Structure 1
Amino acid sequence: MSAASRLVACWLDSNIGVTGAYPELKQQFSGVSERIEKWHYFDSGDKFIQFIDENPNITLVTIMSGHLAKTVVTAVSDRTSLHSVYIFCGNTAKYRSLLLNEHKVKGVFNSEDDLYRQMYSDLHQEFP
């Protein structure tokens, strides 16, 4: 992360991305790293892609639902601002193949606690 680059997080999910939805979960993840300046929530891939295109000078950490990650990850994996993707879904086996093809995908999780622990570990190691 360069000195000019800000660490930002996005959550892309058709349910969690809705304004006002899942406030406890959003509050929990807001504490995953004090280096994250802001969290953004999106309920569609188009809005998320537009955000990335309009913010090339950030370092972006994302959580995506498996369904949206299946189409969005390949569309944005070449963006230099995209640092990492964590997939949060009910069926990990269905989306685990994304790990094989996309080096920015850090894991596929069906437990919010496991996802939080992995993100916490990764972010504290990479952005101390």
Structure 2
Amino acid sequence: MKLLLNHLNINVETKLIINTIPTLISCLVKNVPNLRKFELLKGPEMICKLLKYKPTGSNEINDWKLVQVKIIEFLFFYLVPESSHDKKERVVYKDGCERYNMEQKVNILKEYLNNNVIEGLVNELKESKPFGSMNNEW
């Protein structure tokens, strides 16, 4: 996980960032222990910093748009609930990991992103349902 996260910074070539994000998703999908490790290692903060980065050169601006698209795709994935529970109390499963609903994930992202950005992502995710009904149990 640390190796992948090392590639999520503005000093890394954009093509490497673009290829790292889908790899990261593959490591996280339905793998709650990896998701919690990603969060522990400040992964959400790194992703959000990349989204907010403002490149200066014209070539860099064009390349960076592709990075931002991958980041938006990642954030859609990240916001998918790991459980259909909507309770306020912690829900811990056999693997010892708590499952987060969408509201809990929104609260994590609120530390790093503007509320309007997060609301837009959540609304689009709920309307378009790119991952289906989202009644998941990971």
Give TM-score, length-normalised by structure 1.
0.34
Comparing both structures, which one devotes a greater share of its residues to helix? 2
Give TM-score, length-normalised by structure 2.
0.32
